[in-house]
């Protein structure tokens, strides 16, 4: 998805002195007009593509841990030995290059092009023989990542992928960002196309809703009456926007945003609208505000909170985000709620009215639990799953926004609404459906983009008693730590991708000293 990369660093076809690459070090260069990353671990030297296959992040600026290189932008992981994208959000592997040793130099020679993310690399794990048929319900982040991982790990049986949306699975985070702002072409949005599913024998059932699960018969029932039997079932039905029961809330210029169709409808409306009112100062609400400003609309944000994003990111970041949006011309009406929508204006609870010919409501989402409930799965503010992502119903797994899983760091059950977590839950569930018995232990991560600023967030802090800002938020260069009883539970960064990555690694290892270093 990135533009043609600018080449930097040494020409690796000419080679570099062996001594220039220390054990554990990475170096970015190029060969045959392509960016290439060299990495050394012990006596072995590896060369892979230097651009992340997610959005093209510069891997040389990431972290190299064991045999894994991690992308500084959204924390994807790649194994430098095989190129495999071992953890989302990247799905496709990196190309590998041959490295030769010549006259004391490391020289990059031949390129081995990468296959797609559903193709097994090396010897895939042998799937459990009892598993011949898998159904995945929910063609979103978790479902898509799961389907690909099933094939990548060598599952050869019947694979049915059911999605209520008429479109192929999409890059949902982009729907409120560059795509909505008009800076990303439509072809960036689908995660995969028809040919991909055909090549991997995935039966993608588009535009159909699974209505119930007959767990005793191990069958999923679709809204056209079809029954799909399974040996293993993954439920990944995601979340749905909370709808406000507002007078005038069903007028045609009132929009919600979850699907590609929703984003297209907002874009179509924005082409004729002059003033937009966004209800909700959530991540999605604010990203919509930024995108509509980029399109030149006047934008008002109405929210009951005292500050945007304060509940998740605290007052300091909230004030900064507000100032950032105001500097781009957004007008906030905080501490206010809308009471009525009319065709050309919205009434607020203080009696004021705001003119608006486009209204976007982003006041949170609710997990889509009905299907899991019909299976008889235990529900507690989400679908209860264990560390292997099994629900309480045999052979039924859950992943993504619906899953409430035990957080490896705190032991508390959490349910998070993050793209990367959803994909990784899907990937882990897939391996476990094939018999891996792998605990889900990833540190939660999300990002959010506002104009040219990106907030990265690692960890999970539902509450905290201290917020510590290091650096300068206004200058777009800061680390913010959220502590409870002195312990860092989560870290947000602006303009410090590397610190976010180091904090992620430190949390994953349970290394509190390294975590303290990362936030300085």
Ligand X SMILES: Cc1cc2nc3c(=O)[nH]c(=O)nc-3n(C[C@H](O)[C@H](O)[C@H](O)COP(=O)(O)OP(=O)(O)OC[C@H]3O[C@@H](n4cnc5c(N)ncnc54)[C@H](O)[C@@H]3O)c2cc1C
Residues that bind ligand FES (CB under 6 A): 52, 54-57, 71, 73-76, 89-90
Q: Which residues contact 387 (CB under 8 A, 6 or more apart)?
A: 405, 406, 408, 439, 440, 441
Q: Does 401 bind ligand X (CB under 6 A)?
A: yes
Based on CB atoms, which residue is closest to ligand X, 49 or 459? Answer: 459
Based on CB atoms, which residue is closest to ligand X, 117 or 173? Answer: 173
Query: Left, alpha or beta for 486 (phi > 0: left; psi -120 to 50: alpha)?
Result: left
Q: Does 284 bind ligand X (CB under 6 A)?
A: yes
CA distances from 460 to 238, 315, 445, 476, 478 (A): 19, 17, 8, 22, 18
Strands (E), 105-206: 105-112, 133-137, 158-163, 202-206
Q: Does 372 bind ligand X (CB under 6 A)?
A: no
| CB environment 282-291: b (16+ within 10 A), e (fewer) | bbbbbbbbbb
Coil vs helix vs strand at 403: strand
Based on CB atoms, which residue is closest to ligand FES, 5 or 248? Answer: 5
Q: Which does 54 bind (CB under 5 to 8 A by kind): ligand FES, ligand X, none?
A: ligand FES
Q: Which residues contact 442 (CB under 8 A, 6 or more apart)?
A: 87, 408, 421, 424, 428, 508
Q: Does 422 bind ligand X (CB under 6 A)?
A: yes
Q: Is the link from the previous residue into 89 a cis peptide, with omega within 30 of 0?
A: yes
Strands (E), 9-150: 16-17, 26-31, 34-41, 44-49, 63-65, 68-70, 77-79, 85-87, 96-102, 105-112, 133-137
Based on CB atoms, which residue is closest to ligand FES, 90 or 396? Answer: 90
Q: Which does 73 bind (CB under 5 to 8 A by kind): ligand X, ligand FES, none?
A: ligand FES
Q: Which does 278 bind (CB under 5 to 8 A by kind): ligand FES, ligand X, none?
A: none
Residue 165 contacts residue 179 (beta carbons within 8 Å): no
Based on CB atoms, which residue is closest to ligand X, 53 or 282? Answer: 282
Among 71, 114, 371, 488, binds ligand X (CB under 6 A): 371
Q: Measured between alpha carbons, how far is 287 from 449 in angstroms, rounded to an integer? A: 7
Q: Measured between alpha carbons, how far is 79 from 70 in angstroms, rounded to an integer? A: 9
Q: Measured between alpha carbons, how far is 397 from 236 in angstroms, rounded to an integer? A: 9
Instruction: Evaluate the CA torsion angle 420, 411, 373, 242 in order and state its sign.
Output: negative
Q: Does 192 bind ligand X (CB under 6 A)?
A: no
Residue 421 contacts residue 444 (beta carbons within 8 Å): yes
Among 71, 114, 228, 257, binds ligand X (CB under 6 A): 257
- Binding part of the chain for ligand X, among 113-121, 139-147, 301-309, 430-438 by CB under 6 A, reads 139-147
Q: Does 214 bind ligand X (CB under 6 A)?
A: no
Distance, CA of 131 to chain centre: 29
Coil vs helix vs strand at 382: coil
Smallest separation, CB 384 to ligand FES (Å)? 30
- Binding part of the chain for ligand X, among 108-116, 194-202, 345-353, 440-448 by CB under 6 A, reads 440-448
Q: Does 279 bind ligand X (CB under 6 A)?
A: no
Q: Does 450 bind ligand X (CB under 6 A)?
A: no
- Binding part of the chain for ligand X, among 153-161, 163-171, 485-493, 499-507 by CB under 6 A, reads 163-171
Count of residues that interact with ligand X, criterion CB under 6 A: 36
Distance between the two ends of the chain, CA-based, in angstroms? 33
CA distances from 226 to 2, 91, 210, 219, 468 (A): 41, 31, 9, 10, 55
Q: Does 282 bind ligand X (CB under 6 A)?
A: no
Among 11, 13, 116, 417, binds ligand X (CB under 6 A): 417
Among 137, 356, 473, 503, binds ligand X (CB under 6 A): 137
Q: Which does 448 bind (CB under 5 to 8 A by kind): ligand X, ligand FES, none?
A: ligand X
Report the DSSP beta bridge partners of residue 299: 276
Q: Does 57 bind ligand X (CB under 6 A)?
A: no
Q: Which does 179 bind (CB under 5 to 8 A by kind): ligand X, ligand FES, none?
A: none
Cα-based angle 96, 101, 102 (whole degrees, multiple of 5): 130
Among 45, 85, 118, 162, binds ligand X (CB under 6 A): 162
Q: Which of residues 79-98 bind ligand X (CB under 6 A)?
A: none
User: Tokens for 118?
Assistant: 């559903």
Q: Does 314 bind ligand X (CB under 6 A)?
A: no
| Residue with the shortest CB distance to ligand X | 140
Q: Which does 88 bind (CB under 5 to 8 A by kind): ligand FES, ligand X, none?
A: none
- Binding part of the chain for ligand X, among 230-238, 311-319, 321-329, 349-357 by CB under 6 A, reads 230-238
Q: Which does 55 bind (CB under 5 to 8 A by kind): ligand X, ligand FES, none?
A: ligand FES
List helix spans (H) across 109-252.
141-152, 178-181, 194-199
Q: Which does 76 bind (CB under 5 to 8 A by kind): ligand FES, ligand X, none?
A: ligand FES
Q: Does 173 bind ligand X (CB under 6 A)?
A: yes
Binding site for ligand X (CB under 6 A): 137-143, 162-165, 172-173, 175-176, 209-210, 236-239, 257-258, 284, 368, 371, 400-401, 417-420, 422, 446-448
């Amino acid at each position: 998805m990135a533009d043609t990369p600018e080449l930097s660093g040494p020409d690796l076809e000419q080679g570099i002195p062996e001594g220039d690459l220390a054990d554990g070090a990475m170096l970015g260069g190029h060969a045959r007009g392509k960016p290439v990353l060299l990495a050394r671990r012990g006596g072995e030297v590896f060369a892979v593509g230097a651009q992340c296959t997610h959005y093209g992040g510069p891997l040389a600026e990431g972290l190299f841990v064991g045999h894994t290189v991690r992308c500084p932008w959204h924390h994807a992981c790649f194994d430098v030995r095989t190129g495999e994208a071992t953890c989302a959000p990247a799905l496709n592997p990196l190309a590998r290059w041959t490295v030769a040793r010549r006259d004391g130099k490391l020289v990059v020679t031949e390129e081995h092009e990468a296959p797609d993310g559903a193709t097994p690399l090396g010897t895939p794990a042998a799937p459990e023989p009892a598993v011949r048929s898998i159904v995945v319900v929910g063609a979103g982040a978790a479902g898509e990542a799961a389907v690909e991982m099933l094939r990548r790990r060598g599952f050869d049986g019947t694979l049915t992928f059911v999605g209520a949306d008429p479109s192929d699975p999409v890059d949902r985070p982009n729907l409120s960002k560059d795509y909505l702002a008009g800076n990303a072409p439509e072809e960036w949005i689908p995660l995969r196309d028809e040919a991909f599913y055909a090549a991997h024998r995935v039966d993608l059932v588009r535009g159909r809703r699974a209505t119930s699960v007959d767990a005793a018969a191990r069958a999923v029932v679709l809204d056209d009456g079809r029954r799909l039997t399974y040996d293993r079932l993954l439920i990944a039905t995601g979340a749905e926007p909370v709808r406000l029961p507002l007078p005038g809330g069903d007028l045609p210029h009132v929009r919600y945003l979850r699907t590609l169709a929703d984003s297209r409808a907002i874009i179509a409306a924005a082409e004729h609208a002059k003033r937009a009112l966004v209800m909700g100062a959530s991540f999605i609400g604010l990203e919509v505000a930024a995108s509509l400003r980029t399109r030149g609309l006047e934008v008002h944000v109405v929210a009951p909170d005292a500050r945007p994003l304060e509940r998740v990111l605290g007052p300091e970041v909230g004030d900064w985000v507000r100032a950032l949006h105001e500097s781009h011309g957004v007008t906030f009406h905080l501490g206010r709620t809308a009471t009525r929508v009319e065709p050309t204006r919205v009434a607020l609870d203080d009696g004021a009215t705001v003119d608006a010919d486009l209204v976007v409501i982003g006041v949170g989402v609710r997990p889509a639990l009905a299907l899991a409930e019909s299976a008889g799965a235990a529900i507690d503010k989400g679908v209860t799953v264990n560390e292997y992502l099994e629900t309480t119903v045999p052979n039924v797994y859950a992943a993504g926004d619906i899953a409430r899983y035990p957080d490896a760091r705190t032991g508390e059950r959490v349910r998070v609404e993050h793209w990367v977590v959803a994909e990784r839950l899907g990937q882990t569930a897939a391996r476990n459906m094939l018999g891996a018995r792998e605990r889900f232990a990833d540190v939660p991560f999300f990002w959010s983009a506002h104009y040219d600023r990106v907030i990265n967030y690692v960890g999970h802090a539902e509450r905290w008693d201290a917020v510590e800002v290091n650096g300068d938020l206004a200058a777009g260069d800061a680390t913010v730590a959220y502590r409870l009883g002195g312990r860092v539970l989560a870290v947000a960064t602006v303009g410090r991708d590397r610190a976010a990555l180091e904090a992620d690694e430190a949390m994953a290892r349970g290394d509190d000293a390294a975590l303290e270093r990362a936030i300085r």
